[in-house]
Structure 1
């Protein structure tokens, strides 16, 4: 799937543990809403991913990408290194001036 930057950077950084790259993809005022919590601020999100994320042996597999103006929706799944599907997701990114400003994550 062809992902535009900074969305491609977001997934690559998570999968590779490249937290400085993740930081550069996000706006300082970044907000993520997901079923289990909300992160307000880039530093809060990056800190969680670096220090508290329950699993790091995962890869995001992208199945479809939809674009509409400043929004990009990605449908995919999180897969362990052993090949097990942990979760299926839809991420809706809001992007402004080359940075991710907001992310709404839906899972099943």
Structure 2
């Protein structure tokens, strides 16, 4: 799977509540670093997304996506919308993709 397709699938899986697909897209050692916490391990991340995140009625609107020259880093810029269509915040995500799937994600918000 191409890096861009893996990242697009990541957002689709979260927004659609497809946690089996999300699990399959992530490498076992996946780590997300975000302003409020670090989630280490694919299982911990999927559990958080499924059971602990404050809102599940959200949609990621990706406005810009770019891929590094080596094809292993995908940059996504967009907005997170609530169920009512309200913009909750803007984000820039930097995904690192390897042979086993998405290895890491650094999330920056505004």
TM-score (norm 1): 0.94
Aligned structure 1 segments of 4 or more residues deviating by more than 6 angstroms: none
- 2:4 and 2:67 in contact (8 A); partners too: no
Tell me which residue corresponds to 1:17: 17
Answering whether residue 74 of structure 2 is matched by residue 72 of structure 1, we say yes
Tell me which residue corresponds to 1:29: 29
Count of residue correspondences? 106
5+ residue gaps, structure 2: none
How far apart are the structure 2 equivalents of 1:94 and 1:61? 20
TM-score (norm 2): 0.93
5+ residue gaps, structure 1: none
Q: Alpha-carbon deviation of 1:59?
A: 0.4
Greater alpha carbon shift after TM alignment, 91-100 vs 42-51: 91-100
**RMSD in angstroms over aligned alpha carbons?**
1.1
Tell me which residue corresponds to 1:39: 39
